[in-house]
Amino acid sequence: MKVSTRGRYALRFMAELARLEGEATNPSIKDISNAQGISDKYLEQIVRPLVREGLVRSTRGAQGGYRLARPANRITVGDVLRATEGDLAPVDCVSSDCSRECPRSGSCESMFVWKAIKDATDKIIDGITVQDLLDKHNPFESVDEDD
């Protein structure tokens, strides 16, 4: 799995929204673009799927702008990456949106590898929230290897 700039910038956008939560006005694309050093045109494209997936709310008008649709501690890195990158499975046969089963799934020697990679990736990205990004907290640092 390789995360594109789209996914990386989406995480920065979400972290910036979380950081600005509670401000008098909702930040605009321009505000976040300037704060994060991301092109506002590119950021506009990145925000669309975040709004569509219900992670961000947009408001029009003089006091318009963007805000998180739910608390930062209830939005995971996985939510953001899947909204902007799509399925993150390493191969199609373990993808959640695979419409047909692989004809070799019963005899594939490497299927367990792809499934293990997907499961490990999902565990990590679904275990870190946008709030963790702000807090610079890695919830996996203190996990005992024997757990």
What average pLDDT values come out for the chain (147 residues) when binned by 10 residues?
93 95 87 94 96 95 88 97 92 70 72 90 95 86 59
Sequence ranges of the domains in the chain: 1-88+128-138
Q: What is the pLDDT of residue 49?
A: 97
What is residue 138's predicted lDDT score, i.e. its pLDDT? 75
Name all contacts of 57-60 with Cβ < 8 Å and 24+ positions apart: 59/26
Sole residue written with tokens 């594939």 = 108
Query: In sequence order, which residues have a C-beta less than 8 Å from that of residue 3 and are 6 or more positions away?
Result: 81, 85
Per-residue pLDDT, 98? 58
Could you tell me if 47 and 29 are in contact, meaning their C-beta atoms sit under 8 angstroms apart? Answer: yes
Residue 23 is predicted with a pLDDT of 79
User: What pLDDT score does 130 carry?
Assistant: 97
Global pTM value? 0.86
Beta-ladder partners of 53: none
Selecting from 3.80.30.10, 1.10.10.10, 3.40.50.300, 3.30.530.20, what CATH number does the domain 1-88+128-138 have?
A: 1.10.10.10
